[in-house]
Amino acid sequence: MATQRTEDRMFIVKLMQLIWLLFGILEALIGLRVVLKLIAANPASPFAALVYNMSYLFVWPFTGLTRTPAAEGMVLEIPSIIAMFVYALMAWAVVKLIWILFDRPGETTVVTETRTVQQAAPPAATASKVVTSEYTQSKQG
């Protein structure tokens, strides 16, 4: 049972790592787009064209959101920067949602035990002592 729980947790961790990787690649692609626009890279260059074409789909919902300042061919794409923040927030939310939905923490049980212990005493009196102990036990589910 514990090995199944370990395998389930490993799957969740690997899934979250994959999500972070995919969103990280997307963030890098959009960030590269921002840098290329900022340094006025030649859009006819095959590399710049590839970056612009691949990132356009993800930046498109944010186009026209704000003004895009430009000077001497250099462009500061503020909508692309906003897109990066939104996608980072989405990645965080997806990872948290997966953690909440699929991770099952182990059950915690509190056990209380009370014992009466007879102690040897002088013949005139009999003494007894009550001992209470409590411990917490985590049970893997």
Handedness of CA 15, 21, 23, 26 (dihedral sign): negative
Average pLDDT, the chain: 84
What percent of the chain has pLDDT above 90? 57
Q: What is the pLDDT of residues 15-46, one digit of tens each?
A: 999 999 999 999 999 999 999 999 999 999 99
Of residues 128 and 83, more confidently modeled: 83
- Per-domain residue ranges for the chain? 2-102, 108-139
Q: What is the pLDDT of residue 128?
A: 60
Across 62-71, average pLDDT: 91
- What pTM did the predictor assign? 0.69
Q: What is the pLDDT of residue 14?
A: 93
Q: What is the pLDDT of residue 3?
A: 75
Across 6-15, average pLDDT: 87
Q: What is the pLDDT of residues 121-140, one digit of tens each?
A: 565 555 566 556 655 555 54
**CA–CA distance, 29 with 54 (Å, rounded to integer):** 8
Q: What is the pLDDT of residues 43-64, one digit of tens each?
A: 999 999 999 999 999 999 999 9
Of residues 97 and 135, more confidently modeled: 97
